[in-house]
Amino acid sequence: MADAYVALEGERVVEARSRAPGQARGEVVFTTAYTGYEESLTDPSYEEQILTFSYPLIGNYGVREERFESDRVHPRAAVARELTDDVAEWLESEDVPAVDHLDTRDVVTEIRDEGAMKCGISAGPDASEEEALEQLRQCKHMSDHTTIGEQVSVDEVEVHNEDGDGATVALVDCGAKGSIISSLVERDAVVHVFPHDATRDDVESVDPDLLFISNGPGDPVNFGAAGELVEQKVGEVPLAGICLGQQVVANALGGETEKMEFGHRGVNQPVRDLRSGRVVMTTQNHGYTVADPGEKLDVTQVNVNDDTPEGLENGDLDIITRQYHPEANPGPNDSLDFFDDVLAMASKS
């Protein structure tokens, strides 16, 4: 007899096995990565979502804290064909429900056909279909999570590499992965990490050489303070952004964003540079994209699969953004030169 139930939008219920008990609700999405489960589960961009792994075995090289991207698990629940005991015990210690022994191919196919959808989960000895359906009915769409920034951002300013000799970076934390900060620090930048709602006065107090908008979860319109900061500082200081950061910059400068059908999530997304023709493989995790970059930003890179913008730039205003994750945790190292480019831009300002 099943002791876990996954209720999908449309009220179809799938039976499963409980590996970490509890109830959860959120937008169900999938990742195609077959490594990097520790990084994915600790990526703040998965906040308020239920993460389904398309690769069948998750946990075959254990759990090591040094691979974490943040200090906690962010998805509301994890779904896999099979979870090892190491991962199941880790998720249970984090009070994150986890289920396996279901056909994840079927779940992934439904998400691809119908798009990212609401989901409810009930797992454990008291689990029931009714509870999973009730969780589903209480679930909200990602666009409704207007205060999501508070859940993933630092509460007060943090400084990394305070004695560094490189550029001073003001990084607005909308849910930043730790590897983004590490990539800047490795290049000797002094990184001041500000809360998602930082003001112009806050940022100007450190006299930055670069304003950097991080990745993060959900709809970029829910990060209005970061967008306002971009509007105020554009032309005064170089700007960079990753993932949600690209979307925030585009919205702030007259562009438009939209929700994708099921997003880009995995470590094998091909991106073509329109100037060189070079194609690189990238790590991605986002459900929204730039629909129209506006008049101030040029599209410099596109996704080979669907032509969505992967890179935006304005040389006159010193702006470089990327939709993918150049720091490559987990994933390929093809695009690490992004950090060299933005820091070089900062050094010229």
pLDDT at 330: 75
- Angstrom distances, CA of residue 97 to CA of 35, 90, 227, 231: 21, 11, 34, 40
Q: What are the catalytic residues?
A: 243, 325, 327
Q: Is the torsion defined by CA of 12, 217, 61, 63 positive or negative?
A: negative
Residue showing tokens 């562009």 = 255
CB proximity list for 156: less than 8 A, separation 6 or greater: 195
Tell whether residue 70 is among the known ligand binding residues: no
Summarised one tens digit per residue, pLDDT across range 201-224 is: 999 999 999 999 999 999 999 999
Kindly tell me if the per-residue pLDDT of 329 is higher than 90. Answer: no
What's the domain count of the chain?
Answer: 2
Residues 62 and 203 in one domain: no
Kindly tell me if the per-residue pLDDT of 334 is higher than 80. Answer: no
pLDDT at 85: 98
Residues 162 and 182 in one domain: yes
Residues 8 and 128 in one domain: yes
Instruction: Look at residues 305, 322, 187 and name the one whose alpha carbon lies nearest to residue 241.
Output: 322
DSSP summary character for residue 126: T
Tell whether residue 59 is among the known ligand binding residues: no
Tell whether residue 41 is among the known ligand binding residues: no
Residues 50 and 84 in one domain: yes
Residues 117 and 198 in one domain: no
Kindly tell me if the per-residue pLDDT of 303 is higher than 90. Answer: yes
Last residue of a domain, one of 111, 140, 169: 140
* Mean pLDDT across 42-60: 97
* Mean pLDDT across 239-245: 98
pLDDT at 328: 73
CB proximity list for 18: less than 8 A, separation 6 or greater: 3, 4, 97, 98, 99, 123, 124, 125, 127
**Domain carrying residue 11:** 4-140
pLDDT at 1: 66
Cβ atoms of 64 and 90 closer than 8 Å: no
Task: Encode burial over 19-54: b for 16+ CB neighbours within 10 A, e otherwise.
Answer: bbbbbbbbbbbbbebbebbbbbbbbbbbbbbbbbbb
Tell whether residue 285 is among the known ligand binding residues: yes
Tell whether residue 128 is among the known ligand binding residues: no
Kindly tell me if the per-residue pLDDT of 348 is higher than 90. Answer: no
349: pLDDT confidence band, cut at 50, 70 and 90? Answer: low
Q: What is the CATH number of the domain that holds 279?
A: 3.40.50.880
Tell whether residue 333 is among the known ligand binding residues: no
Last residue of a domain, one of 115, 140, 165: 140
Beta carbons within 10 angstroms of residue 246's beta carbon: 32
pLDDT at 142: 86
Residues 119 and 176 in one domain: no
126: pLDDT confidence band, cut at 50, 70 and 90? Answer: very high
Higher pLDDT, 336 or 281: 281
Residues 162 and 76 in one domain: no
Q: What is the CATH number of the domain that holds 21?
A: 3.50.30.20
* Mean pLDDT across 164-177: 97
Last residue of a domain, one of 113, 140, 167: 140
What's the token pair of residue 329?
Answer: 């945790």
pLDDT at 141: 87
Tell whether residue 288 is among the known ligand binding residues: yes
Write the DSSP string, 244-303.
HHHHHHHHHTT-EEEEEEEEEEEEEEEEEETTT--EEEEEEEEEEEEEE--SS-EEEEEE
pLDDT at 143: 85
80: pLDDT confidence band, cut at 50, 70 and 90? Answer: very high
Q: What share of the chain in percent tops pLDDT 70?
A: 99
Kindly tell me if the per-residue pLDDT of 336 is higher than 80. Answer: no
Q: If you average pLDDT over every residue of the chain, what do you get?
A: 96
* Mean pLDDT across 120-134: 97
